[in-house]
Amino acid sequence: MIERAGLIWAIVNPDTQLEIEPFLKGYDEVLSTFGFKDWKFFSKRQFKGPNWKLSYDGYLGYYHVPVLHGETFGRDMTNRGVYFTWGPHQHIKTPAMTPGHVATETLGYMAAIADRPEDEWDLETLSYGVWTVFPCISIASFGGGGRGVMISQVIPGERVGESTTFQYYIMENLPATQDLAESAEEQFAFLQEVVEREDIAQA
């Protein structure tokens, strides 16, 4: 077990030969730009699903988003993703702009700062998108009630057709007002709804 990028990394199989540090391939260095070591725990949820690989599929690409999440995220969401990889871990951004959706602004922003010095880069904007940790963890940025991420772990169950999803909501700052707290709670309730009623139901 080690701590990197403000996260605790562990392998639950005590017989594993895998070493965590080489497995990270530098991904932890990129994730450290979030500054998770100073972030705060907001809430967590837990629910059952089918086979873990199917349950995890929704975190691996945007292809399904405008169709499966048309009623929630909206049908104008892009279905395309651009992938950046560190070993088996990947960061997904969208190549297209979708007005009003923060996660889609990142590629345009990257193009705009390509020639600018690094100390002018806005790391918060660069961090938008979905960060997956192979094989079953995802970190996705959201803004309800302030800057936050949903960290999802999809853990296989006793049988092949069973899994448990753990969702952790971590925020850069805990909501300072009742209104912000309600926005954060709404955001995370919405995300649970989307994952449970759409991704997992479809899986």
For Fe ion, the binding residue among 39, 73, 81, 199 (CB under 5 A) is: 199
Q: How many residues bind Fe ion (CB under 5 A)?
A: 2
Query: Which range binds Fe ion by CB under 5 A, 108-116, 121-129, 141-149, 191-199?
Result: 191-199
How far is residue 203's CA from residue 199's CA, in Å, rounded to a whole number? 6
Nearest approach, Cβ of 88 to Fe ion (angstroms)? 20
The two three-digit tokens of residue 35, written as one number: 């500054």
Chain CA centroid to CA 181, Å: 20
Question: In the complex with Fe ion, which residue's Cβ is closer, 105 or 199?
Answer: 199
Alpha-carbon distance 120 to 17, whole Å? 41
* β-bridge mates for residue 92, sequence order: 83, 130
Q: How far is the CB of 65 from Fe ion (least distance, A)?
A: 6
Residue 138 interacting with Fe ion (CB under 5 A): no
CB of 76 to Fe ion, least distance (A): 16
We find the least distance from the C-beta atom of residue 64 to Fe ion, in angstroms, to be: 6
Least distance (Å) between residue 186 CB and Fe ion: 19
CA–chain centroid gap for 28, Å, is 14
Residues 68 and 89: their CA atoms lie apart, in Å, by: 24
**Residue selected from 5, 42, 56, 58 as contacting Fe ion according to rule CB under 5 A:** 58
* Residues 6 or more apart in contact with residue 147 via CB below 8 angstroms: 124, 141, 171, 172, 173
- Please give the DSSP secondary-structure letter assigned to residue 87: T
Q: How far is the CB of 11 from Fe ion (least distance, A)?
A: 26
Q: For the chain, give the number of residues.
A: 203
Name which of 6 and 66 has its Cβ closer to Fe ion. 66
- Which residues are CB-contacts of 69 (< 8 A; sequence separation ≥ 6)? 77, 194, 198
Q: Which residue is nearest to Fe ion (CB)?
A: 58
- Closer to Fe ion at the Cβ: 55 or 106? 55
- What are the residues binding Fe ion (CB under 5 A)? 58, 199
